[in-house]
Copies of this chain bind each other. A is one copy, B any other.
Amino acid sequence: MAASVRSGKAGLPPGTLMHIGEAKEHTPKISIIDYNPTHFQEKIAQRVEECFPFRRKKSITWINIDGVHDSNIIKDIGKHFGFHYLLLEDIMNNEQRPKIETFEDHIFIVLKMLNYEQKEVVTEQISIIIGKNFVISFQETEGDIFDPIRKRIRENKGKLRKRGPDYLAYSLIDAIVDHYFAVLEKLEEEIEEVEESITRPTAETIKNMHLLKRQTISLQRSIWPLREVVSGMIRSESALLKKTTAIYLRDVYDHTIQVMDTIETFRDILSGMMEVYLFSVSNKTNEIMKVLTIIGTIFIPLTFITGVYGMNFDFMPALTWEYGYYAVMMGMLSIIIFLLLYFRKRRWI
């Protein structure tokens, strides 16, 4: 949760770079891809300084940094590329909401990647900076989600090599949003599993239902601002986002809406399941009570009657009568028949 780690920063001057989020240990990996329609270069930088020369190159450079917990790297990049301190702070603060911020010569975008690991939706923050001839992307951990894009650049498939950094950024965002569908798919399986177990609910069932509900809510909360980010890019008047890219972004926007709709549907299904569950519990209680009441109503009075004739009074009329036993038994039988008819009339049996 945001609160726990965030509070440690209270009182520090703004711009003090400090990683906020789960602690990460691995060494950040910096990969550089430089390309134009005819040229292609790919390398893994050993030191952050290796990125700097690409700032001045005319070709398009994509610098991808896996790991944002090393403030030195972030600071060095910030200093060299001229990013505002608060922007760097946002990159390192993994509790950041998705947002878009437009600066004079670069656009800063924060997004959330989703992964479904061990019945939990895990979010990872991805920051993208679009410059005039570069895109810098920051991931918390190394992931393979951008691999198809790398391959498309490498093999010069599609339009990627022919277009600018805004199209590359679009491709990255598109890959992230497309990956949401995979997560939704897994969530859907989970929901269906719980749905099947609802007919024989255990204490687990309620907990699982609830866990799923909480996950859809937190999902909704992290995707909602994404919509604004994408529509912010579409409506942006920055020269860094070309008009020809807008139609692709509109496509991403449609997908985002589709994701929202699917999550909304999940919520409805889960709410419905809870309602049905509550209904069936109160229905079952009713059923159980009915059985007890039928049994009780029939046998408690009868037991009373046998009790009467079990009393040890010396002077009791019926006891010595030859047919007394049979008369009482018939009487009790009539009570049973009468009650069964009564219950049938009331539709209890």
Q: How many Å lie between the Cα of A286 and that of B210 in the bound state?
A: 20
Q: Which residues of B contact A159 (CB under 8 A)?
A: 13
Q: How large is the interface on A (under 10, 10 to 19, 20 to 34, 35 or more residues)?
A: 35 or more
Q: Which residues of B contact A9 (CB under 8 A)?
A: 178, 181
Q: How many Å lie between the Cα of A214 and that of B265 in the bound state?
A: 9
Given contacts A84-B247, A182-B10, contact A318 B313 (CB under 8 A): yes
Nearest chain B residue, comparing its CB with the CB of A314:
B320
- CB of A31 within 8 A of chain B? no
- CB of A44 within 8 A of chain B? no
Q: How many Å lie between the Cα of A325 and that of B152 in the bound state?
A: 89
Question: B280, A203: Cβ atoms under 8 Å?
Answer: yes
Question: B181, A6: Cβ atoms under 8 Å?
Answer: yes
Nearest chain B residue, comparing its CB with the CB of A4:
B185
Given contacts A6-B258, A251-B14, contact A272 B213 (CB under 8 A): yes
Question: B272, A210: Cβ atoms under 8 Å?
Answer: yes
Give the shortest distance, in Å, between A91 (CB) and chain B (any CB).
13
Copies in the complex: 5
1/0 contact string of A1-45 vs chain B (CB within 8 Å): 111101101111111000000000000000000000000000000
- CB of A291 within 8 A of chain B? yes
Give the shortest distance, in Å, between A184 (CB) and chain B (any CB).
4
Given contacts A89-B251, A307-B307, contact A95 B258 (CB under 8 A): yes
Q: What 10 additional pairs, Cβ within 8 angstroms, besides A4-B188, A13-B157, A315-B324? A: A3-B185, A14-B174, A86-B247, A210-B272, A210-B275, A218-B265, A293-B295, A299-B304, A312-B316, A314-B322
A positions within 8 Å CB-CB of B: 1-4, 6-7, 9-15, 84, 86, 89-90, 95-97, 99, 101, 145, 147-149, 152, 157-160, 171, 174-175, 178-179, 181-182, 184-185, 187-188, 200, 203, 206-207, 210, 213-214, 217-218, 221, 247-248, 250-251, 254, 257-258, 261-262, 264-265, 268-269, 272, 274-286, 288-293, 295-325, 328-329, 347-348
